[in-house]
Amino acid sequence: MTKKTKTAITPTRSENYPEWYQQVIKSSDMAEKSPVRGCMVIKPWGYAIWENIRNVLDGMLKATGVKNAYFPLFIPLSFLEKEAEHVEGFAKECAVVTHHRLEKNGEGGLIPAGKLNEPLVVRPTSETIIGDSFSKWVSSYRDLPILINQWANVVRWEMRTRIFLRTSEFLWQEGHTAHTTREEAVERTHLMLDIYAEFVEKYLAMPVVKGYKTPAERFPGAVDTMCIEAMMQDKKALQAGTSHFLGQNFSRSSGIIFQSASEQEEFAWTTSWGVSTRLIGGLIMAHSDDDGLVLPPKIASAHVVLLPIFRKPEEKTIVMEFTENLSNELKQIFYHNRRIEVEIDTREIGGARGWDWIKKGIPLRVEIGPRDIAQDSLFVGRRDQGHREKKSIKREEFIKTIKDILDEMQANLFERALAFQKDNTVLIDTKKEFYDFFIPENIDKPEIHGGFALSHWCGSENCESQIKTDLSVTIRSIPVNTKKENGKCVCCGKPADKRVVFAKAY
């Protein structure tokens, strides 16, 4: 038995991955459970990541012509009912508003009063309410395309919740577009998926697989659902974003009709696409280690923490002045869409201070003591290196190279995640091998969640659900870049012409 290294997080990933996840969140002070069932409180360190995601992605969406707007939180029940598959998909998890005031009961308590004529559903997604607006905005082909996005909260009454990954209320952006032709709508569906993939890979440093969902896994009411899937460190898949081609389903149910150039009345072709605070859960699980959170610099809540060190009052004056000056200088530097963000931690709590920031995943820790100042140096620790591997760097040098250091860290995180994904993606051609790969009896052990199995599938829902029942494994997607390759369905053995991605998933 090898000696166990002490880690900042207990349990470690290999001991208990789900519990490790909760502890990483707790010790980084990102978020916590709320007294409202299934809802979370996103604390400043976690919310800052969402702000960064929002700022960057918003710019990328707008660059494709998308405009932001805002639609009502409530959806009349009758609207939801218009699209049969859609309401079927969400009916089991809807928060329903039935009253509009509170009244005293006999005992001095309050009870709901003022019953609504029609119940209102708190939006689980907004196709139906936005579709209603589109139906009013569109009359001619000249009014199309409409490219709309909203940043909003949505509610899905989930039975089993987990912070960031699955919560009753979450934050997201939902894009909704309407087009004159099928081709243009399909093109938009692809474009948004590409943007999500680019954003998640470049900013969150998470490599993704782009693909199509199977009919069983589609968004309720969609003709086609595309998705990006990322691999977490327990080898499970996380759906990180979806883009739906809705055909004319929602334009029929909402009445989005336009007069074409040839003066025909036609139904518009629509799409919708979204990413949510779930991305933060993915971020945590993709990069963090047994010492806590690891944040990709481009999206980190802050980039650098300055840790002034002093014993005597006269040292304090010198050290604090040096620290403030350094902070001001760093804050002038632009690094990918924003200025360098600096924290200064003056708490006198000894070594716990450095560990707090390791657990918070800040990319760079800079210790500043009288001896460092005497040499015009800083003592710098990187979150992607061991906590003892700190290095003395000249102040000027640090300022000159901080962007390169951060870029290098960002690239390292992506490369590491990509290597992990590649190492755990395997071609499997026989049922035995496939079942061995996912061994359900050992499901508690993260090291045998398997990974991504690229295997043939005959296209039948029977085989798909058989595998789901036996192994809790689903088809994550039919990859966009999959090639024709004759083989046999990994479940029934019938002929199949391409491989799909099977995995356990969040």
Q: How far is the CB of 491 from its own copies (least distance, A)?
A: 33
From 272, 227, 186, 237, select the one nearest 479 (Cα to Cα): 227
327 counts as binding its own copies under rule CB under 8 A: no
* Of 14, 68, 442, 469, the one binding its own copies by CB under 8 A: 68
* Of 57, 155, 200, 342, the one binding its own copies by CB under 8 A: 155
For residue 244, give the amino acid letter: H
Q: How far is the CB of 499 from its own copies (least distance, A)?
A: 38
Q: How far is the CB of 317 from its own copies (least distance, A)?
A: 22
* Of 15, 99, 182, 466, the one binding its own copies by CB under 8 A: 99
Q: Which residues from 365-424 bind its own copies, rule CB under 8 A?
A: none
* Of 122, 222, 240, 491, the one binding its own copies by CB under 8 A: 122
**Total residues in contact with its own copies, by rule CB under 8 A:** 62
Q: Which stretch binds its own copies (CB under 8 A): 116-124, 359-367, 410-418, 456-464?
A: 116-124
CA distance 251 to 269: 7
* Of 15, 85, 93, 324, the one binding its own copies by CB under 8 A: 93
> Which three-class secondary structure state does DSSP give residue 435?
helix
Q: Which residues from 166-225 bind its own copies, rule CB under 8 A?
A: 169, 171
* Of 96, 216, 419, 439, the one binding its own copies by CB under 8 A: 96
259 counts as binding its own copies under rule CB under 8 A: no
From the CB of residue 68, how many other CB atoms can be counted at a distance below 10 Å? 13
* Of 9, 53, 56, 148, the one binding its own copies by CB under 8 A: 148
Burial 429-452 (b: 16+ CB within 10 A, else e): eebeebbebbeeeeeeebebbbbb
Q: Which stretch binds its own copies (CB under 8 A): 113-121, 321-329, 373-381, 408-416?
A: 113-121
Minimum CB distance to its own copies smaller for 152 or for 208:
152
CA distance 378 to 371: 9
140 counts as binding its own copies under rule CB under 8 A: no
Q: How far is the CB of 230 from its own copies (least distance, A)?
A: 23
CA distance 212 to 227: 6
Q: Are 249 and 129 in contact (CB under 8 A)?
A: no
94 counts as binding its own copies under rule CB under 8 A: yes
339 counts as binding its own copies under rule CB under 8 A: no
* Of 53, 75, 204, 471, the one binding its own copies by CB under 8 A: 75
Q: Are 309 and 281 in contact (CB under 8 A)?
A: no
Minimum CB distance to its own copies smaller for 251 or for 421:
251
268 counts as binding its own copies under rule CB under 8 A: no
Residues in the chain: 506
Structure tokens at 453: 């199995």
* Of 22, 60, 74, 506, the one binding its own copies by CB under 8 A: 74
Which pairs count as long-range contacts for 179-184, CB under 8 Å and 24+ apart, including other chains?
Answer: 179/144, 179/145, 179/268, 179/269, 179/270, 179/271, 180/141, 180/144, 180/145, 180/258, 180/260, 180/266, 180/268, 180/269, 181/269, 182/247, 182/269, 184/145, 184/269
In the numeric block, the tokens 């051609």 are attached to: 429
70 counts as binding its own copies under rule CB under 8 A: yes
From 315, 459, 442, select the one nearest 374 (Cα to Cα): 315
132 counts as binding its own copies under rule CB under 8 A: yes
In the numeric block, the tokens 């996380």 are attached to: 238
Q: Which residues from 21-50 bind its own copies, rule CB under 8 A?
A: 32, 34-36, 39-44, 47-48, 50
CA distance 164 to 506: 11
From 457, 449, 461, select the one nearest 428 (Cα to Cα): 457
Minimum CB distance to its own copies smaller for 334 or for 481:
334
280 counts as binding its own copies under rule CB under 8 A: no
Task: Give residues in contact with its own copies (CB under 8 A).
Answer: 32, 34-36, 39-44, 47-48, 50-51, 67-77, 79-81, 87, 91-103, 109-112, 114, 119-122, 129, 132-133, 136, 148, 152-153, 155, 157, 169, 171
